[in-house]
């Protein structure tokens, strides 16, 4: 599975380039690592990126959130249609 997920150590200057390339790859997800960024920053960024790239689903994770969170802050880009299809198949209902 790791060959289907690309981990990218990125910065704000190249994020849009990577994001635009995503639909043309065979990866199921890009995980952009953002050490030192707060959970609030990641949440705000994912909301904005969901507006800019409607064909992608942008999620985020931060160690401060606990549980099964990632050990470093990150943004996760996935194909929105593919993710919604999987959610429908398993009966996933998003919680507010």
Can you name the residues that pair with 29 across neighbouring β-strands? 5, 78
pTM given for the model:
0.84
Closest CA to 61 of 44, 76, 80, 47: 76
Q: Is the dihedral of CA 63, 69, 71, 76 positive or negative?
A: negative
pLDDT at 1 over 80: no
76, 60 Cβ separation under 8 angstroms: yes
Confidence of residue 88 (pLDDT cuts 50, 70, 90): confident
The mean pLDDT value for 52-65 works out to 94
Residue 29: phi, psi to the nearest 5?
Answer: -160, 150
Mean pLDDT, the chain, whole residue set: 89
pLDDT one-digit tens code per residue, 17-54: 999 999 999 999 999 999 999 999 999 999 999 999 99
């Amino acid at each position: 599975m790791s060959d289907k997920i690309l981990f990218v150590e990125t910065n704000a200057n190249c994020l849009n380039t990577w994001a635009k390339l995503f639909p043309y790859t065979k990866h199921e997800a890009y995980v952009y690592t953002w050490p030192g960024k707060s959970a609030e920053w990641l949440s705000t960024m994912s909301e904005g990126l969901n507006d800019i790239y409607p064909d992608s689903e942008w999620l985020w994770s931060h160690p401060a959130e606990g549980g099964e969170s990632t050990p470093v802050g990150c943004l996760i880009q996935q194909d929105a249609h593919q993710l919604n299809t999987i959610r429908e198949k398993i009966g996933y209902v998003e919680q507010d």
